Amino acid sequence: MFVPIANILHADLDAFYASVEQRDQPRLLGKPVIVGGGVVLAASYEAKARGVRTAMGCSQARRLCPDAIVVPPRMSAYTDASRAVFAVFDDTTPLVEGLSIDEAFLDVRGLQRISGNPRQIAARLRRRVRDQVGLPITVGVARTKFLAKVASGVAKPDGLLIVPPAAELGFLHLLPVQRLWGVGPVTAEKLRRRGITTVGQVARLDERVLVEMVGRASGRQLHALAHNRDRRRVTPGVRRRSMGAQRALGRRADTSPAGLDVALVGLVDRLTRRLRAARRLCRTVTIRLRFDDFSRATRSHTLWQSTCQTSTILTTARGLLAGAMPLIEHQGISLIGVAVGNLSDGRAPQLVLPFDGEVASALDTVMDDVRDRFGPNALTRAVLLGRDQGISVPLLPD
């Protein structure tokens, strides 16, 4: 008889950037630490306890936590730490699916005789990351990817939580509805107005009722997750379905149309280089906006032909930004981002007539070659000279 086992681990480093700084500078241990400049990139749990949050302006963070120690980001240190942690993951099991530089799913099924049961494997992984890399890590263990991630969120910081199959729904149904993937502030408010605040209350609703409340796709997903139905497997080496880059805009940032265009050029330039390095093409271009009241909006356009050309993607993004300017002028803006989706393999593109665009493609190729040989700052667009282009955060390979 098949007996279900909680064999999926979700491992998530705690306050990653801030933890690296506390590791490397012992004077910061136990103190509120903010990593960033004009915008908070990361905050230690001591700072989070005072209300500091990622993407918050540093001036607001200092008001909430006057004794916070602000340190500049060191992206190379975070990249090195991430590689060391993923080396531990890869040594634990061959089935590792990275989600970002500081979290991953691990499937430990079939390792009982070699490495012990999932609880023992998770405890050993946490100990190895602490001893070998010097960082705290939280691990959630469950039968599904969804519940393993929920468990790690509940166990933070620096914890280990195993949810046995027999106790899954008892654990899940007591949690607030925001623990369900896809439930943001808007959906949570829709549910709250109907008196629904816990996952258990969602689970007691018929799927058709949820669909009427929040739409077909969201309703079906919420109904499945509320019953812990998640058939996704841990899949190593999954290629990205989209790529993106974003930049938080502090109070001193130039948010005029010209200033936002400069920020957009820098983001698209960085993003398209990544796209070509990964040998991918895209069809959909999306801009993401966060306003001064922290509400968000997106605008997207799907091209008739897949591309990785900077000029084409930039022209599309500029059109989307122009269409959103009335909203930006009314609500202000605190973050701008660009994403490309509908990705396909760029090694064998479908050619179309007429064969134009060779000049743009050749320019991109030359710029990429120069930057690969002499560094990313060897060649810069004139509009970006002397401009702060923000921080490039470390990423998993594309």
Looking at the annotation, which residues are catalytic?
A: 103
Indicate the burial class of 371 (C-beta count within 10 angstroms; 0-12, 13-18, 19 or more). Answer: middle
Tell me how far apart the alpha carbons of residues 36 and 18 are, in angstroms, rounded to a whole number: 10
**34 Cβ contact list (under 8 Å, min separation 6):** 18, 40, 42, 43, 44, 47, 52, 58, 61, 65, 68, 69, 70, 71
Tell me how far apart the alpha carbons of residues 382 and 389 are, in angstroms, rounded to a whole number: 13
Tell me how far apart the alpha carbons of residues 120 and 108 are, in angstroms, rounded to a whole number: 11
Strand-pair partners of 30: none
**Within 10 A of 144 (CB to CB), how many other CB atoms are there?**
21
The DSSP line for 78-119 is: HHHHHHHHHHHHHHH-S-EEEEETTEEEEE-TT-HHHH--HH
Strand-pair partners of 139: 11, 160
User: 């012990």: which residue's tokens?
Assistant: 116
Longest alpha-carbon distance in the chain: 68
Task: With H, G, I as helix, E, B as strand and everything else as coil, classify residue 202.
Answer: helix
Tell me how far apart the alpha carbons of residues 333 and 342 are, in angstroms, rounded to a whole number: 27
| SS3 letters across 238-284 | CCCCEEEEEEECCCCCCCCHHHHHHHHHHHHHHHHHHHHHCCEEEEE
